[in-house]
Structure formats: structure tokens, C-alpha cells
Amino acid sequence: MSSRVVLGVAGGIAAYKACELLRRLQAEGHDVTVVPTAAALEFVGAATWAALSGKPVHTSVFDDVHQVPHVRLGQQADLVVVAPATADLLARAATGRADDLLTSTLLTAHCPVVFAPAMHTEMWLHPATQANVATLRARGCVVVDPDSGRLTGPDSGPGRLPDPAELAAVVTAVLTAPSIVARAAGRDLAGLRVVVSAGGTREHLDPVRFLGNRSSGLMGWALARAAVLRGAEVHLVAANVTLPAPPGTTIHPVTTTGDLATAMTEQAATADLVVMAAAPADFTPAARSDTKIKKDGDGGLHVDLVQTTDVLATLVQGRTDQHQVLVGFAAETPTADSSLLELGRAKLTRKGCDVLVLNEVGEHKAFGRPDNEIVLLTEDGADGPHAGSKDFLAHLIWDCALQRRSHR
């Protein structure tokens, strides 16, 4: 569904990344109006913004006065996102300044507002900036923590604008469900340590071949992204995922189901919330060849397989903190004899986790796609189906996990 988005751009070197964010939002069908500050135009000119957006670009409240743009833009927008948001812009927004078109738009916006800060590390960590961020969040704004990495010149540290794909995912989730804004602004996962597994494991036959599955890690990445946005300390156990790490997460790479079981057991020991979104292989070769297996005439290859560790059941059995909530995933293919819900309920009973995220898999379903359809199963029953982007669904899963935790 097309939404009216105002893309505010403040005067920082990261302004060039907003060009890609603009393109991504347009590709999703949104009507985007760019409102740069005068300083932003020193980095990316008005002609570039006009060409990319297909709309005139203004920075002053005195342009097209008869249309009252400083009021109209904020009133008509479905979302305002400021990327990059400099220390100066955050300060002016927090104190209610209205000295240009962008800050005036922010004051008149009735819609969700997302800030994506970008600045040098010292500026981001300064108490004044942190106080301004806290003020904006207290007013219901979403402030995306900056990434860590290379900054202007040789400097490196927190303050880097997140990748445009990460920001577009946040925008998509907020536009899909504005209720997410309250959770992100309120940082309802703050103080919690969460562990998420993602991707698909690989069981080696020889040095070049393996048994695996089609899991891309997109759902686990969405869960990690959503948890960071809501203030959690996030550890991501990644099985063969090639995606860039979500900002604010600690990555623990693994390969096999055995590796996954070891890493998850270690990380879950001190976790408040654990989500097993990875797709572990259920079987592994009984023996691995140290050399590449050669063809032998026209004959086939016979491989003896043994079962791997049931990672989710192991986590449930080893749980020592009764306040910890364990969430599992069930990728199922219903049959004439067993419906999707029947398969899910049987798995929930068998695994013993607190929440089971049930989804049907198959061609053009779930794996590798940006969207999904899920049912949330608990001992109280089924909630769903819920369909939408994985970033939107990730927030529903965290909502359900928090609800179960409150019942402990």
C-alpha cells in the first residue's frame, strides 16, 4: 500500500546514503517528498533530490508560501523519517525549534516520526545528544541507534548511519503497524538479553559437499533488528548467513547443527528471551569423507545418516531460569492427514517451548522471501494467521514473547 513519506535529510556526510533510501522507499511504492536542510544541500544538491524524487525540492518556509508547506507536509504525511539526523538536527527537534522547513514539518506531523542519527562518536555519546534522544523517545519518536564502523576520515566507532536497507526495513514495519512506534519509542526490551538463531545449518559429506536447506536467515535478521530497535542486548547465532550484520548485534557464526547446539546452549544460559529461528538439519552423515567423493561409473551414492541434536528441545530441557521465554519455529508442509495447525500443536507439545511460530513452507513460501504468514501457538491456543513483511512479523513475535514473560 502506498504511503506518503517525508524524507528529511540533515547536513552530514551520510546524506549521500539517503539517496539509496529514497530509491528503496519508492521501489516499495511510497510517495516520497524530500525535505533537506540548507546544510544538507552542501553535500547533495537540490537537483539530485529533484531528479530522484520527481518533485521540487525546498528548504525554506517561504517557498510556495500559498501552499503553506511548513504545515501541509507534516499534516498530510503518513510517516516522517530523518536520515541522517545530525546532532544539530536532534537538538533543534528536541527543543521544538522551527527555523527551517524540516523542523517546521516535524512540529506539525501527526504521524510516526523516525530519526536515524549519524555523527562522530564523540557527538553521539555526548550527554547533550543522549538527553535529546531520550526526550524525542519520550515524546513517542523512534530513534534508530547508529551503527558502528568507519566514519569521516580515519575515525571509527558508533555514529555511522545504518545501511539504507536496514532503515527501509524499519520504515516498512512502522508503516505496516504504527503500534510498533510505541514499543520502539518506549524501548520495552531495554535491560533484556535476547538470543536469536538464524539461517540454515550445513552437514558436510566431504570437503566440497554438504546437506543443507533453503533458509536465508531473513526472519532471524528481522527479529534481531526489531529487538535492537526496542532496546534489547541482542546476540545473533548465525548459521551460514551472508547478509550484513544488523547494527547493534553481536554475531556468533556457526556451520553445523552441532555448532548451533553448542553456541545456543552457551548463549541461552544468561538470556531472558531465546528465539530459535534457524533451520537446523535433522540428519548428518554418519561419516565425513576427508577427500572429495568421486563418481564411480554409473552407480549412485549411498550415504548413512544419523539424527542431529534437537537444539530446541535441548534448550527447553536445560533451562534453569524459569522466567526465560523460549520461542521455537515450525516449518511444516500440511498433508491430507494432518493440517498445519495439527502439525504445529503436536510439535509444541513435543518440544515444550513457550511459543511456537508456525509457518507453511514450500515453493515461493517462507524461505528466502521478505514476507511470510505465521500462526503463534501457545498453551492458550492459536493466534493468527498473521501475514506481512518479516520485519512486521518480528515485532508480533516479540510482543507474544513479552506477554508470556509477564505471566511467569
pLDDT, tens digit (0-9, with 9 covering 90-100), for 71-96? 778 788 999 999 999 999 999 999 99
H-type helices in 288-385, by residue range?
311-317, 340-351
Q: Indicate whether 368 pLDDT > 80.
A: no
CATH 3.40.50.1950 for domain 4-185, yes or no, is yes
Q: Indicate whether 145 pLDDT > 90.
A: yes
Whether 338 contacts 306, CB under 8 Å: no
Percentages helix, strand, coil for the chain, rounded to the nearest 5?
35, 25, 40
pLDDT at residue number 69: 52
d(CA 7, CA 160): 18
Q: Residue 365: exposed, middle, or buried by beta-carbon count in 10 A (0-12, 13-18, 19+)?
A: middle
Confidence band for 68, pLDDT divided at 50, 70 and 90: very low
Residue with the larger pLDDT of the pair 275 and 320: 275
Q: Indicate whether 297 pLDDT > 80.
A: no
Q: Indicate whether 34 pLDDT > 70.
A: yes
Q: Indicate whether 366 pLDDT > 60.
A: no
pLDDT, tens digit (0-9, with 9 covering 90-100), for 90-115? 999 999 999 899 999 999 998 999 99
Distances (CA, A) of 382 to 238, 278, 334, 347, 355: 28, 22, 16, 13, 10
Is 213 annotated in the active site? yes
- CATH level 3 topology of 187-289+303-406: Rossmann fold (3.40.50)
Query: Which residues pair with residue 236 across a beta bridge?
Result: 196, 251
Angle at 25 between CA 21 and CA 29, to 5 degrees: 165
Show me where the domains of the chain are located.
4-185, 187-289+303-406
Which helix (H) or strand (E) segment holds residue 123: the answer is helix 121-125
Catalytic residue among 213, 240, 359, 372: 213
Long-range pairs of 266-271 with CB within 8 A, sequence gap ≥ 24:
267/195, 267/235, 267/237, 268/195, 268/315, 268/318, 268/319, 268/324, 268/326, 269/320, 270/193, 271/193, 271/194, 271/195, 271/235, 271/324
Whether 368 contacts 199, CB under 8 Å: no
pLDDT, tens digit (0-9, with 9 covering 90-100), for 215-265? 889 999 999 999 999 999 999 999 999 888 888 999 999 999 999 999 999
Look up cell 530497535; give the residue.
Answer: 229
> Grid coordinates standing for 320?
534453569
pLDDT at residue number 57: 86
- Residues, the chain: 408
d(CA 106, CA 306): 60
> Grid coordinates standing for 221?
535478521
